[in-house]
Amino acid sequence: MLTTVELDRIEAIRAKFASVIERVVRPFGFEAHRLRLLPKANEGDVRAFEELYGLSLPEDYRAFLLGVAAGGAGPGYGLVPYDASPSHERAAFPVEAVAAAFPFTEAQLLDPEQLPAELPFPSGTLVLCDEGCGYLHLLVVSGEARGQVWVDALVSDVGIFPIAPTFSDWYERWLDNLLAGGDGCWWLNE
């Protein structure tokens, strides 16, 4: 059962999303998701997903899945469906690695001279979206940074760094950027 705070946040997200639809905006990645949301997830499927991967999803993300959508419209090329996230591109690794602790608590910027031949993928994360060119936005599901959203820019030799304290903050930031006339890529303009 969702708390009053979670229900209020979900309602705010729904209202902002409805405003975005009314304004007929075309954000970056529109062609991929066309501002369409997938159906909501159901409690049994989310619980089975958590059991399979040995984790408990951050509360606000879980509330979004149950109260708004299981994927679809969102930053970049849209929200990866939660149940497809562990096998998305570079993220595909053994089941037990999804729940293993995310190793970082602060940005890890790379020296281009010291890039490893094979790029690691951080454990303890789910892919939220793909912004193209190998950049991924990740939800930390295990470790000290649990609940935060990070950008994996390892493919561009930048590194990996936090972008939002929670999933809800990240998603609402996208909606707020669109409502303010932006292209939905607020992280590139900061």
Q: Along the 190 residues of the chain, how does pLDDT read in single tens digits?
A: 667 878 899 999 999 999 999 987 889 888 889 899 999 999 999 999 999 999 999 999 999 999 999 999 999 999 999 999 887 776 566 677 888 899 889 988 877 666 555 556 788 999 999 988 888 999 999 999 999 999 988 777 678 899 999 999 999 999 999 999 999 888 877 6
Q: In this structure, which amino acid lies at residue 183? A: D
- Separation of alpha carbons 72 and 52, rounded Å: 23
Q: What does pTM read for this prediction? A: 0.90
Residue 72 pLDDT? 96
Domain 4-183 class in CATH: alpha beta
- Cα atoms in the Cβ-side hemisphere of radius 13 Å centred on 120: 13
Residue 169 pLDDT? 96
- Separation of alpha carbons 94 and 158, rounded Å: 26
- Separation of alpha carbons 139 and 146, rounded Å: 8
Contact 147, 166 (CB under 8 A): yes
Burial class (CB in 10 A: 0-12, 13-18, 19+), 146: middle
Q: How far is CA 48 from CA 15, 22, 112, 120, 155, in A?
A: 29, 35, 41, 27, 32
Q: Which of 189, 187, 162, 163 is nearest to 76 (CA)?
A: 187
Residue 179 pLDDT? 94
Q: How far is CA 113 from CA 36, 110, 133, 158, in A?
A: 42, 8, 20, 11
Domain segments of the chain: what residues?
4-183
Q: In this structure, which amino acid lies at residue 127? A: V
Residue 117 pLDDT? 56
The residue count of the chain comes to: 190
